[in-house]
Amino acid sequence: MNQKTWGGRFRGDTDARVEAFTESISLDRRLYRHDIRASQAHAHMLAEVGLLTASEAESIVAALDAISADIESGKFEFSIQLEDIHTHIEHALIERLGDVGRKLHTGRSRNDQVVTDVKLWVRDALDALDDRLQQLQRALLDAAERNRELVLPGYTHLQRAQPVLAAHYFLAYIEKYQRDRDRLADCRKRVNVLPLGAAALAGTSLPIDRDSVRRQLGFDALAGNSLDVSSDRDFLLEFVFDLSVIALHLSGWAEEWVLWTTTEFGFLDLPDAFCTGSSIMPHKKNPDVLELIRGKAARVVADLQQLMILVKGLPLAYNRDLQEDKAALFDAHDTVAASLELAAALVRESRFRADAIALRLEDGYLDATTLMEFCIAQGVPMRAAHEAVGKLVRLCEERRCRLAELPPDVYESVCPGLSAGVYKVLGVANALAAFRSAGSTAPAEVDRQLALWRQRLA
């Protein structure tokens, strides 16, 4: 007998090249646990509505557990002749149970089965990713607290701009990863809608109870249109988009830290265990992990492109093209999951070179904007203050000095009376202390945010 589940209509064997070209088992075997879980719920439901006897359902559920154990222990044999994980498991079931096994696929198609499995898998992945993001946020928060006294130059255009507390810097990424977590939670709502029961495309004439399966598998709702179900990969586009944003966040941070470990910056020491050396240059310590976090973000974004192009122009309902979704899904997921774990470890174990940072902190006029704001507070119109401070910076460049080193008469010439208070806002420490707006790097504001996040991430 032809061992294909659809063999009845066919004469002779499938061409071996076709089997190799059309298989998906090499990728979708990762879904086995979810496939079995969904099949067990389906079997229970079939018994509830009288399409299986209670003892048939029981033996199916038990046999599926045994198959799961075989797969886990490596005893299970995979073959491209059985195409995908769904066929493998059904085939193994029939080998064990004969005709009872032949009843499991009642009222079900691989078309709704595969989306159900993928949704169950994505749901687990979403929860695990949320956990990894939270670990990273905690590592960032610890680093923020560990470096609470450290002041960093803040940059725009990668040019020195204004001083920021290192804690403020770490809190910035905590915010980004929180939005990433919120996006995943939002995606989960649409993932958690049950496809199973749509059958091939139109539903079934058999008296199935989709709500029973929904309850058993913990879905929030039933997909409302059977035609929509098997062609729906929106949730994968969303999921991989969300993964792409995480990868992009990681890549910007990785680039920052690659720069900060250079001799030119000298801000940061990475742990040896996370760096590699050069086969020819004995002194090298390279930030490969950061470089690869940056580099692998390209793969994740490419995976998103692949999925979007995959669904473009597909007519309703199921089309075999959709089988190609797994490669992009798994690759994007695995890449981001690994990157998040390594990023958290790097944040935990890297150390700032506070002395080296402090040594050059007064370079680059980080206090210029605060000086301008001080002039504004004295009544100088903003544009005039901007112009005047710009000229003072020019003067400093000529004299090779800092703003704090200009004599009082220079400040008096900008605005009479200015010299009285101006030295209290000049210099990085003073400039930093002068901030006050909500969400700013003002020390009190940063402390408030640290306490808030300590609570939220507890």
Assess whether 386 carries a catalytic annotation. Answer: no
Annotated active-site residue in 26, 55, 79, 278: 278
Asked if 304 contacts 240 with a C-beta cutoff of 8 angstroms, the reply is yes
Q: What minimum distance in Å lies between the beta carbon of 324 and ligand ARG?
A: 9
Kindly state the tokens that stand for 92. 């193994």
Over the window 23 to 42, marking each residue x when it contacts ligand ARG by CB under 6 A and - when it does not, the resulting string is: -x---x--------------
One of 219, 241, 318, 374 touching ligand ARG (CB under 6 A)? 318
d(CA 373, CA 152): 20
> What is the total count of residues that contact ligand ARG (CB under 6 A)?
11
One of 91, 103, 108, 110 touching ligand ARG (CB under 6 A)? 110
Query: Between the CA of residue 292 and those of 134, 204, 335, what are the distances in Å?
Result: 22, 49, 10
Residue 169 in the binding site for ligand ARG (CB under 6 A): no
Annotated active-site residue in 157, 205, 283, 437: 157
DSSP 456: H
| Minimum CB distance to ligand ARG smaller for 327 or for 457 | 327
Kindly state the tokens that stand for 435. 């901030």
d(CA 10, CA 8): 6
One of 111, 147, 212, 226 touching ligand ARG (CB under 6 A)? 111
Residue 339 in the binding site for ligand ARG (CB under 6 A): no
d(CA 357, CA 364): 13
Subset of 236-255 contacting ligand ARG (CB under 6 A): none
Maximum Cα interatomic distance, the chain, rounded to a whole number of Å: 101
Q: What minimum distance in Å lies between the beta carbon of 25 and ligand ARG?
A: 8
Residue 317 in the binding site for ligand ARG (CB under 6 A): no
Residue 233 in the binding site for ligand ARG (CB under 6 A): no
Asked if 309 contacts 240 with a C-beta cutoff of 8 angstroms, the reply is no
- Between the two ends of the chain, the Cα-to-Cα distance in Å is 60
| Minimum CB distance to ligand ARG smaller for 38 or for 152 | 38
Subset of 358-397 contacting ligand ARG (CB under 6 A): none
Q: What minimum distance in Å lies between the beta carbon of 317 and ligand ARG?
A: 10
Nearest to 96 by CA among 53, 61, 48: 61
- 């990668």: which residue's tokens? 158
DSSP 159: E
Span of 183-191, 319-327, 363-371, 449-457 interacting with ligand ARG by CB under 6 A: 319-327
| Minimum CB distance to ligand ARG smaller for 24 or for 68 | 24
| Minimum CB distance to ligand ARG smaller for 24 or for 137 | 24
Residue 56 in the binding site for ligand ARG (CB under 6 A): no
Kindly state the tokens that stand for 206. 């058999």
Burial of 201 (0-12, 13-18, 19+ CB in 10 A): middle
d(CA 37, CA 53): 19
Q: What minimum distance in Å lies between the beta carbon of 340 and ligand ARG?
A: 28
One of 51, 67, 114, 254 touching ligand ARG (CB under 6 A)? 114
Residue 226 in the binding site for ligand ARG (CB under 6 A): no
Residue 310 in the binding site for ligand ARG (CB under 6 A): no
| Minimum CB distance to ligand ARG smaller for 84 or for 232 | 84
d(CA 406, CA 393): 10
d(CA 96, CA 98): 6
One of 40, 323, 441, 449 touching ligand ARG (CB under 6 A)? 323
Query: Between the CA of residue 44 and those of 37, 54, 101, 193, 230, what are the distances in Å?
Result: 11, 8, 14, 19, 23
Assess whether 68 carries a catalytic annotation. Answer: no
Kindly state the tokens that stand for 320. 């075999």
Span of 91-99, 108-116, 302-310, 403-411 interacting with ligand ARG by CB under 6 A: 108-116
Name the residues that contact ligand ARG, by CB under 6 A.
24, 28, 83-84, 110-111, 114, 318, 320, 322-323
Residues with a catalytic annotation lie at: 157, 278
